[in-house]
Structure 1
Amino acid sequence: MTAEEKENTQTKSTITIPAGAMVILPLRNTVLFPSTIMPLAVGRRKSLQVVEHAVREQLPIGFVTQLDASVEKPQPPDLVSVGTSANVLRMFSLPDGQRQVIIQGQQRFEIKEFIQTEPFFIARVSMIEEGIPHTKAFEARILHLRQQAVRALSLLPAPMQELRPTIERIDNPLALIDTIASTLDLPVNEKLELLATLDPEVRAQRVAEKLSAQIELLELSKKIGDETKESMDKTQRQYFLREQLKAIQKELGEESGQSVEAEDLSKKVADAKMPAEVEKEALREVSRFERMPEMAAEHSTIRTYLDWLIELPWSVSSEERIDLQEARKILDADHHGLEKVKKRIIEFLAVRKLKPQGKSPILCFVGPPGVGKTSLGQSIARAMN
């Protein structure tokens, strides 16, 4: 007989549960609430002994969550003080040697003291009796909570919506609160706070607050998902239609003149050797131009804009030459008067000659049409080349 079999035989014959005590099974990353049914895989040897003993003796088990789920062999200080008693509805073996059990939560309890730790935990507990508040405020809160739960389930995937009939059939308000709390997508520590909240009215309020926050997130997530799907569907549809149109035109030998024109513009954009950002914007406008009907108001505007971009001397440069006397001579020859303006231009050129790499201010000519703004710019260009 192995040591484990010997220990199991000894357990069967010697373990007795005193009055007011209960066998305790630690849970990792899970919180069991009263009135809820939960599947549980039991793999630790001590936990298996608890389940087998409880099933054999037809005793309830006290399920208590560990403070730190990473602890493999928890001790009494590693467990919270409030747990839930439960009955084992069904137990069957898994291929890997674990036991799968279906448990049903019954009642909250508080651990007073541990009276045994080997071969499994036995603790003296105080069962928590809960009464249903008979107030209009509590009834209104329960009605609102039920409506919130139905709303939340409608936003979840189809399998979760099967819980709706269950929620609607629960008559006991306390069972409704705990059932909703167990389904909330919350961290373990927040679920433990709800389990340890013993006042039903306070617990109902906290569950409603957390459920409202989750409904808000679900609605926002659904809105984002719908918008993304609509955008993707529209983009994909346009892409396939364009590809089909191109294929049909190619088969018929009827490639549109606008497509040829757009292809020619794309080639000119590439030949212009624009900066990367400018070229990206120009090609985007070419794509718009290709898709736009010729009768559209923007058609000619986009074409003019593209022609202007292509004609700019992006890759053409000349050596800058600044001769202040020559510049003054050119300005005087081209313009009569305008002494203040010509003086400011000469100052600008002088600064640029002294410090070619410096960041000099930009000259801005302002005035009504015909006063010489454009011709001054042409004179400056002629003076520097």
Structure 2
Amino acid sequence: MTINHDDEIIDVGDRLPVIPLREIVVFPYMVIPLPIAREKSIKALERGMSQDRLLFLTAQSNSEIEEPTREDVYRTGVVARILQVSKLPNGVMRVLVEGLVRARITRFLPNSSYLQVRVEVLEVPNDTDVEVQARLRAALGQFTDYVKLNQQIPDEALLTLDNGDDPRRLADTMAAYLIQTPQVKQELVEATSLPKQLETLSTILAVELDILEIKTQIDGEVRDRIHKAQREFFLQEQIKVIKQELGEFDEPADEIDELAQSISQIRMPKAVEDKAIAELNKLQLMHPTSPEATVVRNYLDWLIAVPWTKKTRDTRDLKAVASTLDADHFGLAKPKERIIEYLAVLQRTR
């Protein structure tokens, strides 16, 4: 069996070693480095190197399976050529491959060391009719917008398309650059007609463009809000410094007066009142929206809320005390026991 790849005639043997891929889908004309770490995949690579440097690459249907069998791989993949192999210090093989042509598995051959198959080449007719040209132009326009909106795709992808005129190659190149799930990309690999492939590609790109446009809009709104917040914070800090220099502060006078009046009316102990007045004077020097002002204000509210002058009659019924403690506090058996003991001793000493 022979294939024509860029005017190069390549002989494909009737037995090809298989390397199942996890989370990767390879297309014709695609050059990609692959890490090979599984024992069976390394043996398949060695077999391909010793023969005609050809492999069959196909994606796993479930990437979590460590040792895939024939039931765990897609039947459609690509015949790929090994360009370069190197061994990393950790024992992983790094192989550079080039996708040549689509192919479908027709039979799994007996081999206990690695997966080996017989395949049939799937030639995609290079249609050049008006419909294909229209679909191709639409897909190229969508892909150009897709690359401009997606920062994960390098601009070199557009240069690659500018240098090509083969509709099949252009379609496969766009499909290879798509950032999509393996399942979606597998649909493009299994498309055996150029119009079908371009239609599927345009549908995927249309959805991706809608998502990217919404994401760009959201990112812009978030960025504007952040810039606005940073600008307001910067201006507030400038105003704060200017007012400090002028001896002016924005704390509402009514609130300060209310706090001062509450402190004077509650009849706190002298030490507590002195502390509250000191904190109130500190609050007057703070910016009302600063975190420190919130802490001081909460502290003053707590001091004012404490019932300094209110008295209650002591409860001498220890059972009622225990019942109240159990109702108000879950657990804490030892602290409750210490409180009851303290009250019991206090009653005995009076």
TM-score of the two chains, using structure 2 as the length reference:
0.67
1:105 aligns with 2:99: yes
1:263 aligns with 2:252: yes
1:242 aligns with 2:236: yes
2:17–2:45 CA contact under 8 A, matched in 1: no
Q: Determine the C-alpha separation between the residues in 2 that align with 1:108 and 1:266.
A: 78
2:87–2:93 CA contact under 8 A, matched in 1: yes
1:174 alignment partner, one of 168, 172, 176: 168
1:133 aligns with 2:124: no
1:20–1:126 CA contact under 8 A, matched in 2: no
1:63–1:84 CA contact under 8 A, matched in 2: yes
The 5 A counterparts of 1:362-381 are none
Residue 160 of structure 1 aligns to a residue whose secondary structure is coil
Residues 133, 159 of structure 1: alpha-carbon distance in 2 compared, 3 angstrom cutoff: closer
- 1:80 maps to amino acid: Y
Q: Determine the C-alpha separation between the residues in 1 that align with 2:135 and 2:12.
A: 40
Residues 242, 218 of structure 1: alpha-carbon distance in 2 compared, 3 angstrom cutoff: same
Larger RCO, structures 1/2 (Cα 8 Å, 6+ apart)? 2
Question: What's the CA shift string for 1:61-88, capped at 9, x where partnerless?
Answer: 0001122222222221222111101111
The 5 A counterparts of 1:153-232 are 153-157=147-151, 160-232=154-226
Structure number with greater Rg is: 1
Q: Which residue of 2 aligns with 1:32?
A: 26
2:18–2:56 CA contact under 8 A, matched in 1: yes
1:55 aligns with 2:49: yes
Q: Determine the C-alpha separation between the residues in 1 that align with 2:106 and 2:256.
A: 84
Q: Which residue of 2 aligns with 1:148?
A: 142
2:191–2:197 CA contact under 8 A, matched in 1: yes
Residues 49, 270 of structure 1: alpha-carbon distance in 2 compared, 3 angstrom cutoff: farther
- 1:175 maps to amino acid: R
Q: More displaced, 159-168 or 138-147?
A: 159-168
The 5 A counterparts of 1:342-357 are none
Residue 205 of structure 2 aligns to a residue whose secondary structure is helix
1:75 alignment partner, one of 69, 73, 83: 69
Q: Determine the C-alpha separation between the residues in 2 that align with 1:270 and 1:178.
A: 74
Q: Determine the C-alpha separation between the residues in 2 that align with 1:66 and 1:22.
A: 17
2:123–2:192 CA contact under 8 A, matched in 1: no
TM-score of the two chains, using structure 1 as the length reference:
0.61
Q: Which residue of 2 aligns with 1:85?
A: 79
Q: Which residue of 1 aligns with 2:3?
A: none
C-alpha displacement of 1:186: 2.1
The 5 A counterparts of 1:5-24 are 19-24=13-18
Q: Which runs of 4+ in 1 moved over 6 A?
A: 268-273
- 2:253 maps to amino acid: D
1:133–1:200 CA contact under 8 A, matched in 2: yes
- 1:196 maps to amino acid: E
Q: Which residue of 2 aligns with 1:13?
A: none
- 1:89 maps to amino acid: L
Q: Determine the C-alpha separation between the residues in 2 that align with 1:215 and 1:74.
A: 35
Q: Determine the C-alpha separation between the residues in 1 that align with 2:202 and 2:235.
A: 49
Q: Determine the C-alpha separation between the residues in 1 that align with 2:255 and 2:84.
A: 72
Q: Determine the C-alpha separation between the residues in 1 that align with 2:100 and 2:69.
A: 24
Q: Gapped runs of 5+ residues in structure 2?
A: 1-10, 263-287, 290-350
Residues 120, 242 of structure 1: alpha-carbon distance in 2 compared, 3 angstrom cutoff: same
